[in-house]
Amino acid sequence: MTEHAERFTLLRPLLFTIAYEILGSATEADDVLQDSYLRWAEVDLSSVNDTKSYLARLVTRQALNALRAGARRREDYVGPWLPEPLLLDDTDPSADVVLAESVSMAMLVLLETLGPDERAVFVLREVFGFDYGEIADAVGKPAPTVRQIAHRAREHVQARRRRFAPADPEQTARITAEFMAAASSGDVQTVMSMLAPDVAWTADSGGKASAARRPVVGADKVARAVVGLVSRGMQIPDVRVEMVVCNAAPAVLLYRADHLEGVFTIEIVDGKITNFYAMRNPDKLAALATAREIRRA
């Protein structure tokens, strides 16, 4: 392995996490890392003082280019747009609370409301702790401007974020299992008792699979919708489910035979389910074939 490859491989989990949080797409993050490595391979290493800072800057620039290029596709998207679910190889989201929140579906959906520069600056500063000078180099703006962007982005996120508390893996696994059992038995009242009053079901199909085109909100509506979906799913032959961790939260993978039909990520706060994020778009399910390592350092 060359020195270029060794340095890049060592930092790859960090670089992937940066790209994923800026883009909300594991597939696009992989593309960004591949392109960034090709550029990195041409760099004279004697001119690099800080490999981490240099590669973070390189990846951020490529991610911003990809984010801007994909803006029109997202405007024309059919139905709600959700980030690509991220299958994690670390099943304990409480190990790093900042990292767990930063890749949560709720945070990634919120980051979609920021402009590209605001998103990149927020991620680099609040999640990864880069200084303003490093961020200025990455986004191509003066440090004073970056400070203003960071302040504006932080206020925007804080005004809209829900309280995040790292869930205990055993508790979330138990709640999820109990919920699936109640839904499978058609017990609407028990399902309702496990939901927050303002619980929401948001499905992303991109128009390529059957799914609700608008979010379903409220415990009664969501409970009936989920029970109906589970009931219909149980009637399909060769259906199986698998419990995993996606985006630092419990998730259910739904297979028909060996084909992945969907992933349902479940957000739990204070023992109640507050959000379901249902991914049905087959293009966004492909990245779930591989569990990822994410890091902040």
Mean pLDDT by 10 residues, the chain (297 residues): 94 97 96 97 94 96 93 81 89 77 94 95 97 95 97 95 74 89 93 96 89 90 92 82 89 90 92 94 91 91
User: Tokens standing for 263?
Assistant: 């992933």
Domain count, the chain: 1
At residue 90, the pLDDT reads 64
CA-based nearest residue to 209, from 152, 154, 284: 284
What Cα–Cα distance (Å) separates residue 209 from each residue in 64, 78, 182, 237, 282? 29, 11, 26, 18, 8
End-to-end CA separation in angstroms for the chain = 22
CATH code at position 187: 3.10.450.50
What pLDDT does residue 17 have? 97
User: Is 163 part of any domain?
Assistant: no
Residues 6+ apart with CB under 8 A from 83: 24, 25, 105, 108, 109, 112, 247
Q: Is residue 102 part of a domain?
A: no
For 258-277, letters b (16+ CB in 10 Å) and e give eebbbbbbbbbeeeebbbbb
Q: Are 116 and 126 in contact (CB under 8 A)?
A: no
Q: Is 224 exposed, middle or buried (0-12, 13-18, 19+ CB in 10 A)?
A: middle
- With respect to residue 271, please indicate whether it lies within any of the assigned structural domains: yes
Domain that holds residue 222: 169-287
The reported pLDDT for the residue numbered 92 is: 62
DSSP E strand boundaries for the chain: 195-204, 216-217, 239-246, 249-256, 259-269, 272-279
pLDDT of residue 186: 92
Residue 155 lies in a domain: no
Kindly state whether residue 94 falls inside one of the protein's structural domains.
no
Read off the pTM: 0.94
Q: Is residue 73 included in any domain, yes or no?
A: no
Nearest to 209 by CA among 195, 181, 229, 228: 229
**pLDDT at res. 12:** 97
Q: What is the pLDDT of residue 94?
A: 63
68 occurs within a structural domain: no
Any domain includes 152? no
Q: Considering only CA atoms, which of 106, 100, 104, 143 is closest in space to residue 125?
A: 143
- What's the rounded Cα separation, in Å, for the pair 24 and 5? 25
